[in-house]
Structure 1
Amino acid sequence: MPELPEVETVRRGLADLIEGRSFKSIQLNRKDIRFPMRDGLGDVARGQTVTHVGRRGKYMIIELDGAKRLLIHLGMSGRLILGADVMADELFYQKQQINPRHNHVIMTFNDAAVIYNDPRRFGMVDLLDPDGGHYLLAHLGPEPLANEFDGHWLAQRLRFSKTSIKEKLLDQNLVAGIGNIYASESLHLAGINPKRKAGNIALPRLVNLAEAIRNTLQRAIEAGGSSLKDYRGVRGAPGYFQHQFNVYDRAGEMCRSCGKDNIRKIQQSGRASYYCAACQR
């Protein structure tokens, strides 16, 4: 599933294309993706201008001048493909290994298009409520790149927690946008074992962890995210942060930081965690 750096990369590419442009139509090619399409979704944006493309955690929000807002989540395999020129370009689909049968939503403008393609259909396109809220956004934690997210904030929320720190970082109610890749990489950078109980981590180490999360996410955004399976940017380019992984998906390989131990892989709540026992305590 695309995490914050991948979604932010897509958001930036989307904003460059559609901010300031007016919707011509929204074509819905099926009645549902992960959830049923909301009534009126195909008509709500017609003639309206995109004022801003934002992000909340792993969700993108398209704001319109008529006060309506579209909510997009890429799920496991969703992609946004930009450009009216690719809609009928069979060579593009072949090179990108995209099946156009999975083009579930097509948003068109006078001279551009945005295609939502999702083979596994775990993503979604929806409207925000009239008050700007949505039940999927209601309980999200703070943005990890925002000023309010720091070691002191973590200390308050993790106090007395007996859950492992890796599992807590995946809790979107604690902090929005972090997934398996960046939790593993951030914990390694902070020198914290993913198995350590979150409530047993001292404040100075949580301060380091918050900075490690910020550092890791910023570097990943600069690299265009991580491409392991499905993820590609809006123009089809892969991300490159996977070439900077210190622990993720490197089980059995020597730790690049200490050179003393091999990277280990364990399962935590059904998710793989990677760490160096020599570096991370």
Structure 2
Amino acid sequence: MPELPEVETIVRELAPRLEGFRITRARLAKTDVLRRVSKPRLLRTLQGNAFEEVSRRAKHAVFRLRSGHRLVVQPRMTGSLLVYDRRLTKDEAKYAVLTCTLEDRRLFVYRDVRRLGTVWLLDDAAWTAYTGRIGPEPLDETFTPFVFAERLAGTRSAIKKAIMDQRRVAGVGNIYANEALFEAGIDPSKPTSKLSLEEFARLHAAVTDVLRRAVDSSGTTVRDYRTGVGEPGRFQFELKVYGRGGERCVTCGKKLVTTHTIDLRATTFCPRCQR
């Protein structure tokens, strides 16, 4: 967490609040989140710069600056990205990692309780290399069943593990892999190379459907995730298998099974409905 729907929700809400605004001051409280950029260079680049575009790539929030640089933030488990119209409370300031003061005195803040997230500052060449290592976006119109099957070709790993590989498909994490495989009726441990074309088509439809519905519900709040305006998501009320191990399948009534043997993460599935 957060996965594609959560980050998509965040950037959609941040875009009208940030785009076109200049940064008058930047402050970095902790440096352990930085990747391939020093604190002085980051702050020097941000101060006086402006946000031109706020977008998403896979599970990353991407802030294109007027200078041409891209500030890339991956919030991960406990990170949040918010704009405040007021001063931070003592508790809010405690976990503020990066704070940008805007020209109208609002604050753009990256908070991260456990500092599991990452912050990158990339020029055009570095961004091209960075994004080139990530697979296609599953909500793009060009992401057809044929593209999906092609990206997963040549691997015998479990299908759940394959669709979570960011080099093959962007943005799918544990929650939505569980949900999509249930919707498609496919055993998460099934070797990818054993899937038929019909199963690839079903899974493609399930992945895109689950992600779109999750975006429409502003993502899934299991614990820490909040939207770009600080609200919880709503898709947790629609989950059919994730986090429901031991409960009854909504389709057939059989008890759902949870295993950690596929990728060391919790995989919940219906042994009757998913083959």
Superposition TM-score, scaled by structure 2 size: 0.93
By how many angstroms is 1:134 displaced? 6.2
**CA distance in 2 between partners of 1:170 and 1:266 (Å):** 16
Residues 187-227 of structure 1: per-residue CA shift (max 9 Å, x gap): 11111110111111111111111111111001001111011
**CA distance in 2 between partners of 1:131 and 1:117 (Å):** 28
The SS at the match of 2:2 is coil
1:126 alignment partner, one of 110, 113, 120: 120
The SS at the match of 1:162 is coil
Alignment of 1:167-186 (within 5 A): 167-186=161-180
By how many angstroms is 1:132 displaced? 5.0
Check conservation: 1:251, 1:263, Cα contact below 8 A. Answer: yes
Letter in 1 for 2:22: S
**2:148 counterpart of 1:154:** yes
**2:3 counterpart of 1:10:** no
The SS at the match of 2:45 is coil
By how many angstroms is 1:36 displaced? 6.5
Alignment of 1:1-281 (within 5 A): 1-33=1-33, 35=35, 37-38=37-38, 39-85=40-86, 87-90=87-90, 93=91, 100-111=93-104, 112-131=106-125, 133=127, 136-259=130-253, 261-267=254-260, 268-281=262-275
**CA distance in 2 between partners of 1:29 and 1:7 (Å):** 23
State the superposition RMSD in angstroms: 1.8
The SS at the match of 1:188 is helix
Check conservation: 2:151, 2:168, Cα contact below 8 A. Answer: yes
- What are structure 2's unaligned runs of at least 5 residues? none
Letter in 2 for 1:115: V
Check conservation: 2:151, 2:169, Cα contact below 8 A. Answer: no
Letter in 2 for 1:149: F
**CA distance in 2 between partners of 1:161 and 1:124 (Å):** 29
CA 11–46 in structure 1, closer or farther in 2 if over 3 Å, else same: same
Letter in 1 for 2:210: T
Check conservation: 2:28, 2:98, Cα contact below 8 A. Answer: yes
- What are structure 1's unaligned runs of at least 5 residues? none
**CA distance in 1 between partners of 2:156 and 2:75 (Å):** 32
Letter in 2 for 1:128: L
The SS at the match of 1:42 is helix
**CA distance in 1 between partners of 2:6 and 2:130 (Å):** 19
Superposition TM-score, scaled by structure 1 size: 0.91
The number of aligned residues is: 272
Check conservation: 2:258, 2:268, Cα contact below 8 A. Answer: yes
What fraction of aligned residue pairs are identical, expressed as a percent?
35
Letter in 1 for 2:30: R
Check conservation: 2:19, 2:53, Cα contact below 8 A. Answer: yes
By how many angstroms is 1:119 displaced? 1.7
